[in-house]
Amino acid sequence: MKQRAQTGNHGEVSRNRDEVMQRVFEKNHVAGADEVPFTMDDIRDAIAAVARLRPGYQENNVADVRYQYTSGRRPLPESIAKHGPWMIVGRGKARYAFVKLSAAPEIKIQDDLLTILLPDATPEIVLEYAGSDEQGLLAKVHYNRMLDIFLQITCYHLQNHWRTSIKHKGQCEIDDLYVGLDLNGRQFVVPVEAKCASESLSKTQIAQMIDFARERYPQLILRPVGVQEMSDGSVVLLEFSPAAHPDNIKIKEMRRYKLAPMADVPLAKQQKGV
């Protein structure tokens, strides 16, 4: 599980953290700048300033203040967004930057995507103990070979929940990682970012895993994938273009799947591709 150390009422903590990030941004922002650098010390100073105004506020995990906004759990506060869309990127050990974008970093899922039913091959014992977080979601993706189906290559699981670092950009976390082969023997690397229904995919994590895979596996063809659970239990898989700048990361392919008992799969209809 990703650590979420907070104290106090959830809404109050979120408001305090918004003010912390606002102070960090305003301290370093220069009018017209496309990048606003900051450090973990800037965050610590801002936490101390907010705590002086509200003595009940404290943080047991300072890094989680930044992570809340880079993980997609919470958008940047409106006081920052009014200067344009921004996302936070790593710039080395304990160093970061707000980077200005042409559009908001949140990934929007089409409401009218056709739902494709797949026979559920998840072992019952896994369903019993998998839990409802992103690791439970990724277990279903793995056991049902959903990446193979979506990408039309053979995928092999390599590692999940991988905390690592990227040169000149600092630490990152990869939810899941696969390597793959196609019918011509070409080899691929498939980093995966997953979000449960209560959270949303963001280009912040997609950009991180693209940087990671490009640095760690430069000889492999990169196919970054996002997995978004929907409120009805269906799962949307998205393949992104592996661009260097977040503004150029585009959705290449998107499919919505739902796992169901074999008896509920409309075989005749799906065999005709309608």
Structure tokens at 50: 């907010």
Q: In DSSP terms, which residues pair with 222 in a beta bridge? A: 189
Instruction: Give the residue from 252, 238, 244 showing the smallest Cα distance to 99.
Output: 244
- Both tokens of residue 199? 């959270």
**Residue found under tokens 């498939």:** 190
Q: What is the pLDDT of residue 12?
A: 85
| Single pTM value for the model | 0.86
How far is residue 225's CA from residue 195's CA, in Å, rounded to a whole number?
Answer: 12
CA angle 75, 80, 85 (to 5 degrees): 70
Provide DSSP, 207-270.
HHHHHHHHHH-TTSEE--EEEEE-TTS-EEEEEE---SSGGG--EEEEEEEEEE-GGGS-HHHH
- According to the model, what pLDDT value does residue 8 have? 52
The residue count for the chain = 274
Q: Measured between alpha carbons, how far is 58 from 55 in angstroms, rounded to an integer?
A: 8
Per-residue confidence in pLDDT tens, the chain, 274 aa = 344 444 457 778 889 999 999 999 999 999 889 999 999 999 999 999 999 999 888 888 888 898 888 876 788 999 998 888 999 988 888 889 999 999 989 898 988 899 999 999 999 999 999 888 889 999 999 999 999 999 999 999 999 888 887 887 777 889 999 999 999 999 999 999 999 998 889 998 999 999 999 999 999 999 999 999 999 999 999 999 999 889 999 999 999 999 999 999 988 888 887 5
Between CA 257 and CA 236 the distance in angstroms is 6
CATH no. of 115-271: 3.40.1350
